[in-house]
Amino acid sequence: MKVSFSGPEDTVERLAEIEALLPKIDFIKSIIEPAILDRMTPIFVKALRAELEVYRAYPKRTGDPRLMIKSFDPRSNKSCFMGKAFKANHHITDIELDKYRKAIGTINHPMWGKVTLLEIWGGDHFVDYNSMVLAAFKYGMGINKNCPTLKFHVNPLYVNKNTGKTVLDEEQKQYLKDLNLLHAQAEVFGARTLKEANAAENKKRRR
């Protein structure tokens, strides 16, 4: 609980002095986070390149990679690196993908979930560094012979102002809408299925 202890002594001058004294950007964001990214970048790149080589060599079962380039989008779990390399990476997960992630290692990321560095890097850099990410995908799919220069402009260990945003297709949006409805109705009316939730929602609207 936060309590304000403002009183008569809090003059305009005192408040202005405090406002001028406190930094506009906190020291974690302005000093520590940039330093972490700067010092960790060579290690991030080394790990990313190692995973990309495994990804490239992995015997994929998802068809012609050249047909996947147009729809590739690492912000979506259906069309990201793993969505293009494995059979399922959305409501259900390909057991091979689960084994792949466990072997490679994952980061529990607030935006992208518990995924590998390649997945986080792709989602974070796709918009502003599209050509680099696309070149990495082509290399990973065996289309290009040479690996592109890999760079990190976004710290993959936590969410920050440069972190990418998840993209959902219409099917996923509807799934989340139905799921949220079911959860909400379950709390109020004890609905156990989507059909029961919709019935409860319609009943509420008729009142």
Q: What is the pLDDT of residue 186?
A: 58
Domain-wise residue ranges, the chain: 29-140, 170-206
Report phi then psi at 204, rounded to 5: -65, -40
* Chain segment 97-128, per-residue pLDDT in tens: 999 999 999 999 999 999 999 999 999 999 99
Closest CA to 47 of 132, 127, 152, 171: 152
Rg of the chain on CA atoms, in Å:
23
pLDDT for the residue numbered 43: 97
What pTM was estimated for this model as a whole? 0.77
Task: Write phi, then psi, for 59 (nearest 5 degrees).
Answer: -75, 90
* Residues ≥6 apart with Cβ < 8 Å to 172: 78, 90
80 closest CA partner among 46, 93, 152, 175? 93
For residue 179, the model assigns a pLDDT of: 54
Q: Most distant CA pair in the chain: distance in Å?
A: 73
The one-letter code for the residue type at 162 is: N
Helix (H) or strand (E) run with residue 113 in it? strand 113-115
Q: Which residues are CB-neighbours of 147 under 8 A, at least 6 positions away?
A: 49, 52, 136, 139
β-partners of residue 114 are 108
Burial of residue 206 (number of CB atoms within 10 Å: 0-12, 13-18, 19+): exposed
Match 């998802």 to its residue by tokens. Answer: 62
Question: H or E element: which one contains 107?
Answer: strand 107-109
pLDDT digits (tens), the chain, 207 positions: 877 777 777 788 888 899 999 999 999 989 999 999 999 999 999 999 999 999 999 999 888 999 999 999 999 988 999 999 998 877 788 999 999 999 999 999 999 999 999 999 999 999 999 999 999 999 999 999 999 999 999 999 989 888 999 886 666 555 555 556 555 555 555 555 656 556 655 665 555
